[in-house]
Structure 1
């Protein structure tokens, strides 16, 4: 049986400990930054994302000609596939980080995959499997190119030699000119796609209210083949207001600017693909607040903050 004096001491000790706890809590609340630090730690835990790949990004890292991953590539003969014209797969050599998202890219009218080949290693080195494709005919129209992009993604995830490196739930499409119009067609047909990027896209269909895929529309101020006023701008403006979307108009650029290595195209394409294919919110800083006009950006529109 506990002695009365012992019980009294115990009660006093508990009271003192409780008072100390309250005092510590009050001090923490009053110390500048203490609550912010706790919130930041909680936010980090809440935002943990198993699909983040590579080191924390910087402006330098997304503008660099190559990212942190060494890249290998493999050719795919048109004789071994159906639904598209073969192509080249670029992929991170290491599997240490697990699976990657994947992107199929279509060339434009009369063009072959060589016209967009620069995007392959540049994007793959940032942590994606990238498939630059040839089309069944260099004269294929956007609706056909959209179907071919989807056929390429299906081959990539189901039958290719690198299918084990790919997370088939994290896929995107890109394309130049008619291939850009094709990327819109592909996103319309397959809403499960995580990202679409038409580069100076061309399509007779100007309105895309059906799209549910986060879309970055890239136009060029000097485009005389697919002028932004009749292509990229109406494409963007017709996208649903609730959709994560952006419009990047390149400054001092032409319809064929996407056919050569371009830092601005790469920078925002990488950020868009990372943000929406990988749900990597570390890249949100490059998209929101909206980039301002510069020597390479004529105009940038978008809805921030992004919701997906």
Structure 2
């Protein structure tokens, strides 16, 4: 089994504050401050000095030091091994003596492991996380062979997509040769879809229809071994669906008289609309991006131009040039 050796570090990683609920963390209301993150995490059983220690399913204890600022606000600590996903987090109460805590976890795979820890106050608000990286000894422990590493989730074409569009997502086993496939789902943790890795320990890329629900939305995934019996912890990615956009306007002649019957075409997509008696035309449910706009009136091409339509929608009037005044535009098929 292949693992990448990483140097163990303790690092604070910023995350929007929220409460432990399914889906992404939600921002604290205006004027309300979430608790500070833990000051540090340490462990004698699994030190963060890069030395492989313990083994798969060998329980270790981790000491959480209370925040330096207002430690009394902390009611408990949420923690998650590897996933960094709040919905997968367990909690441990803060001690009354020093507001710190002791966490016991059993690593499920060898190589690099990451313990994520958040402070949580009495109102349920969550701090930014602190991560503690440590290395588990290979080929040892009662739980060996280990479960696969959680997959990395990335968006090769960006994490924003228009409503009704498609999102490209890549799942990567990052060299864990036990992994041969991935299970995934959008918005919930049902993990009802499966895609094979291009090779053991490799990646897989899928193109997903995102539908029309706009806003920030989660995607969840796990890595699966070659016989399907061992499944990794849960990974989570976030993408944003932008509302569908629009284009509207009026077709006029040179004397500002509305022109009915003009056929306006948008490409790509071959969207078409015909101007009405008032010269007006409209397109809705468009994906934002670059288009070529053409307009024909009868047998004439009367307009052809490039247009970038943003998420706010746009209004563009089209003017029909008088016959015989210069050459008409060229409307490509």
Instruction: Output the TM-score relative to the length of structure 2.
Output: 0.25
Q: Larger C-alpha radius of gyration, 1 or 2?
A: 2
> Which structure shows the higher strand fraction?
2
- Higher helix share goes to which structure? 1
